[in-house]
Structure 1
Amino acid sequence: MKALLLTLVFLLELAMLAAAGWWGFTLDAGWPVRVAAGIGAPLLIAVVWGVFCSPRAAVSLPAPAKLAVQVACFVTAGLLLALAGHPVPAVLLVALWAVDTAVLRLSGEPA
């Protein structure tokens, strides 16, 4: 069961990056802005995630702070996806991550 939950959280992390990219590439702007936002937004989220939340994070945070960074990343990606015109998938992304993370934490697994 834990392997399934960890796989789901990994897939949701990839979806988070895809959501940020989707927002950028669908902006109502010229193609240079769309390309910069479509690459830059997921890159920024990936850097924040890698520095603070990955298993080999450069900055070791206490669990509540790490969870706060994770929440900020997922809520940001959800907001960007909603701004791109997809509010239902945005809510599903954040809600699935929250449920999956809660179940993992209740099972004693750090998410």
Structure 2
Amino acid sequence: MNDLVAFLWEMLALGVLAWWGWSAVGPVWLKAVAAVGVPGAAATLWGLFAAPKARFKVPMVAVLAVKALVFGAATLALAGLGHGTWAVVFGGVAAVNTALVTVFRRSASYAR
């Protein structure tokens, strides 16, 4: 169940980053670039370092740093869009779920 929540929260983070990018000040082409580029960069970073089947195996501290960066950016984006309460909820769920998933995955790897 925690893995499902983690996946949904990751997708929600990308959606929030796209929304924030589209809300950028400037011409439509700049909004489109930000709406695609910001979540694209976040997804690339996640896929390279934080995904369960990441391209590069890095220490857990680096995985958690990438997750904190992506979820933190989405939390700040929500706050910047004027949704402070949702930002607190989003950030809180992201933090708790990330902690639970990390603990469960580590305990599962030690059980082998």
Shorter-chain TM-score range? 0.7 to 0.9
TM normalised by structure 2 equals 0.86
Maintained 8 Å contact 1:27/1:84:
no
CA RMSD, Structure 1 to Structure 2 (Å): 1.4
Maintained 8 Å contact 1:52/1:59:
yes
Q: Deviations over 1:78-107 (max 9, x none)?
A: 11222122222222111101111222334x
Matched position secondary structure for 2:78: helix
Map of 1:1-111 to 2, 5 A cutoff? Answer: 4-106=1-103, 108-110=104-106
Structure 2 segments unaligned to the other structure (5+ residues)? 107-112
Assess, with a 3 A threshold, how the Cα gap between structure 1 residues 22 and 12 changes in structure 2: closer, same or farther: same
The size of the alignment, in residue pairs, is: 106
**Hey, what's the Cα distance between the residues in 1 that align with 2:24 and 2:73?**
16
Kindly indicate whether structure 1 or structure 2 has the higher relative contact order, using CA contacts under 8 Å at least 6 residues apart: 1
**Hey, what's the Cα distance between the residues in 1 that align with 2:74 and 2:82?**
13
TM normalised by structure 1 equals 0.87
Give, as a single letter, the amino acid of the residue that structure 2 aligns with 1:109.
R
Maintained 8 Å contact 2:49/2:62:
no
Matched position secondary structure for 1:36: helix
The CA deviation at 1:31 is 0.8
